[in-house]
Amino acid sequence: MTTALAPPPPAPPAVPVATGLGRPASSRVAETGVWIGIGAISMTFAALTSALVVRASDAPDWHHLHLPALLYINTLVLLGSSLTLETGRRHPGRAPLALSLTTILGGLFVMGQVIAWRQLMTQEIGGPSSAFFYVLTALHAAHVLGGMSGLVYVRHRMRAGVVSFVPYNAASLYWHFMAVLWLYLLTLLTLRG
C-alpha cells in the first residue's frame, strides 16, 4: 500500500500551547467552541423571547413589572467585570489579577441578582411577567456561573505555568457575550416584562 502519511509532528514547543477545555489542538478550536456555544445560547433566549411575546399578547393577566433598582447596579458590576477582563488581555502582566477580579465581580453580579429576586418576591406581583423574569434571569445567571468556572480554569492553567492567551481569549469572548446578553434581557424586561 502506498498510503501517504505525514511525518511525525514536531516536538512540542518549549512553551506548551493550551486551548482550554480539551487537549492541545488547533489554536482556534476553543474560540470556535465558544462561538458555537454563543449560537446555541442565543437560540435558547430567542425561543424564550418569542414565548414571552406570544404570552404577553392579549393576556389579561399580564402585569407590567417594576424592575428592582438593584438590577442597574448589577448591570454596572457585570460591565465592570468585562472591563477588568479586557484590561488583562491588553496587559498580559496583569492577566492573573484580572481573571481573579473578574471572577469576583461575576460572583457579586450573581449575588446581586439573587437579592433582586428577593426584592421582587416582596412585591407580590406574581403572574406571567414575573415568571418570565425569574426564568430569564436565572438561566442567564446559570450561564454566568458557567463562565466563572471557565475563568477559574484559565486562572488555574496560568498558575500551572502555561502561558497562552488562547483560552483567555475564548473565555473573554464568552464573558463579553454574557454582558451583551444581559443588556438585551434588561431591555426586553424593561420594555415588555
Partner 1 sequence: MFSVDHKVIGRQYLDLALVAVFTGMVLSWLMRFHLGWPDTPIPGLGKIAPGGAAGGVMTPEYYLALMTMHGTIMVFFVLTTAPFAGFGNFLLPIQVGAEDMAFPRINMMSFWVTLVAFLVLVAAFFVGDQPPLSGWTAYAPLSAVGKDAGPGQGWGQTLWAISIGIFCIAQLLGSLNFIATTLDLRTRGMSLARMPMATWAWFITAVIALVAFAVLMPACILLILDRVAGTSFFIPGGLVISDQLQPHTGGSPLLWQHLFWFFGHPEVYVAILPGFGIVSQILPVFARKPLLGPKVFIACLAAIAFLSYTVWGHHMFLSGMNPFSATLFSVPTLVITIPAAIVTLLWIGTIYGARLRFTSASLFALGFVSVFVSGGISGFFLAQPSTDIYLHGTYFVVAHFHFVMGVAAMFGIFAGTYFWFPKMFGRMMSETLGKWHFWLTFIGVYCIFMPMHYLGLAGNVRRYSAFTDDYLQPLIPLHRFITIAALVTGAAQLIFLYNLIRSRLRGPQAPDNPWEATTLEWSTSSPPPHDNFGGRRPVVTQGPNEYAVAGPGGRDYIMQAESR
Please spell the DSSP secondary structure of 110-151, one letter per residue.
HHHHHHHHHHHHHHT--HHHHHHHHHHHHHHHHHHHHHHHHH
Cell of 178: 454574557
Q: Decide: helix, strand or coil at residue 91.
A: coil
For residue 68, how far is the Cα from the chain centroid?
A: 22
Among 10, 12, 13, 60, binds partner 1 (CB under 8 A): 60
- How far is 167 from 20, CA to CA, in rounded Å? 5
| Residue nearer to partner 1 on the CB measure, 47 or 183 | 47
145 counts as binding partner 1 under rule CB under 8 A: no
39 counts as binding partner 1 under rule CB under 8 A: yes
Question: Do the Cβ atoms of 193 and 67 come closer than 8 Å?
Answer: yes
- How far is 1 from 8, CA to CA, in rounded Å? 19
Among 15, 59, 69, 163, binds partner 1 (CB under 8 A): 59
Q: Decide: helix, strand or coil at residue 160.
A: coil
Q: What is the nearest approach in angstroms of partner 1 to the Cβ of residue 101?
A: 27
190 counts as binding partner 1 under rule CB under 8 A: no
121 counts as binding partner 1 under rule CB under 8 A: no
Q: What is the nearest approach in angstroms of partner 1 to the Cβ of residue 149?
A: 13
- How far is 14 from 8, CA to CA, in rounded Å? 17
160 counts as binding partner 1 under rule CB under 8 A: no
Per-residue binding letters, 15-34, with partner 1 (x by CB under 8 A): ------xxx-xx-xx--xx-
36 counts as binding partner 1 under rule CB under 8 A: yes
The DSSP 8-state label assigned to residue 69 in this structure reads: T
62 counts as binding partner 1 under rule CB under 8 A: yes
Residues in contact with partner 1 by the rule CB under 8 A: 1-9, 21-23, 25-26, 28-29, 32-33, 36-37, 39-41, 43-48, 50-51, 54-55, 59-62, 128, 131, 135, 139
